[in-house]
Structure 1
Amino acid sequence: MGSASSVLSQSDIEEVQEHCNNLFTEEEIVSLYQRFCQLDGNGKGFISADEFLSHPDFSISPLSERLLMMVDGLNFKDFVAFLLAFSAKASMKQKIEFVFKVYDSEHNDKVTFSDILEVLRDLTGPIMSDEQREAVLSQVLQEAGYTMESLLLLDDCIKIVNKSGLKMEVEVSTSLSM
């Protein structure tokens, strides 16, 4: 799996399956590998931020800058693990762990009110005012027993999502077209 131009061996496929808790089939991994090779334009075996942004679905995302920090330099195995969070096969905990990383802008394993507010601002744009975002976020935090001053750890975010009943469903096709 060193070079993106090489073919996946059965042991490579099994290694990736194990890395992703066997949530992707062999066929899905092969399809994802083909996609990875398309994105890895220079054939070095990892995806750069520029290569990632070359796909229109990724470049138009309001969270593309945050996602870039997470994907720059991903090899194939980590690329599949990254996509796992978008799969219907991923557990809620796996999805929350991914979202937590998106919110954790300082990479210190803590999320602040302002971190969440910034992401909400990216996602909602002019649809909501800052006051509306703050009110909604304050209410969600308060219902889960937190305040605007709370520093949230991963376990706190799991608790908040579980209490709020939020659903996190997004499916990424293994056959994304260019």
Structure 2
Amino acid sequence: MGNASSMLTQYDIEEVQEHCSYLFSQQEIVSLYERFCQLDRSAKGFVAEDEFLSIPEYSTNPLSQRLLRMVDGLNFKEFVSFLSTFSARASLQQKIEFIFKVYDIDGKGKVSFKDLVEVLRDLTGSSMSEKQREQVLTKVLEEAGYTRDSTLSLEDFVTPIQTHTPHKRNTHPQG
């Protein structure tokens, strides 16, 4: 696939489809390639940070800086893989893993109280004080059975969401 200005072959399309677990049709892959080429203004075969920020919906997202560290320098295959998380066909597990990566600022597989405060700061801006953020997060963690000193793993993100999804049956006995 090399240069972004080259044309996609059928092999390239099938390879990208396989890489993103067939979450996009061949036509969707072609459309994404066209968009990728528009974003890759330098025609280097990857999309740089400033090119991502040219997308209005992306640049106005309060988590855009956090997302940038995940997308800066992606080639086309990686670009499609990144976008596959947003597909309606993506599994709940894939979406949870993506959200976890947004919160896992240092990429070490754990989310700390500090990480949570930073994400909440990004989301709330100046509408909340640092003290309010910490109070809210402390209360939420306590209600979930954690403390400020707890570090959350991917499993800690998965379990509550899977437990509270409508299609799952409540397996806890009624008291």
8 Å contact from structure 1 (residues 141, 160) kept in 2: no
TM-score of the superposed pair, with normalisation by structure 1: 0.84
Pairwise CA distance, 1:136 = 3.7
> Which structure's relative contact order is higher, taking Cα pairs within 8 Å and 6+ residues apart?
1
Listed as ranges, the matches of 1:91-130 within 5 Å are 91-130=91-130
Pairwise CA distance, 1:102 = 1.1
Closer/same/farther in 2, CA of residues 105 and 148 from structure 1, 3 Å limit: same
Equivalence for 1:4 = 4
Alignment pair present for 1:161 and 2:167 = no
Listed as ranges, the matches of 1:18-29 within 5 Å are 18-29=18-29
Gap runs ≥5 in structure 1: 167-178
Task: Give the fraction of aligned pairs with identical amino acids, expressed as a percent.
Answer: 62
Q: What is the number of equivalent residue pairs in this alignment?
A: 166
8 Å contact from structure 1 (residues 3, 43) kept in 2: yes
**Separation of aligned partners in 1, 2:118 and 2:162:** 22
8 Å contact from structure 1 (residues 111, 152) kept in 2: yes
Pairwise CA distance, 1:132 = 4.1
Q: Residue type of the partner of 2:64?
A: S
Pairwise CA distance, 1:145 = 2.6
**Separation of aligned partners in 2, 1:165 and 1:128:** 30
TM-score of the superposed pair, with normalisation by structure 2: 0.86
**Separation of aligned partners in 2, 1:137 and 1:143:** 10
Equivalence for 2:30 = 30
Closer/same/farther in 2, CA of residues 54 and 129 from structure 1, 3 Å limit: same
Equivalence for 1:74 = 74
Of 95-104 and 121-130, deviating more is 121-130
Closer/same/farther in 2, CA of residues 144 and 137 from structure 1, 3 Å limit: same
Instruction: Give per-residue Cα distances to partners, 1:75-116, cap 9 Å, x unaligned.
Output: 001101111122222111111111111111112111101101
Pairwise CA distance, 1:141 = 2.6
Give the greater-gyration-radius structure (CA): 2
RMSD: 1.9
8 Å contact from structure 1 (residues 85, 98) kept in 2: yes
**Separation of aligned partners in 2, 1:121 and 1:138:** 14
Q: Residue type of the partner of 2:71?
A: V
8 Å contact from structure 1 (residues 46, 75) kept in 2: yes
Equivalence for 2:90 = 90
Listed as ranges, the matches of 1:31-46 within 5 Å are 31-46=31-46
Listed as ranges, the matches of 1:162-177 within 5 Å are 162-163=162-163
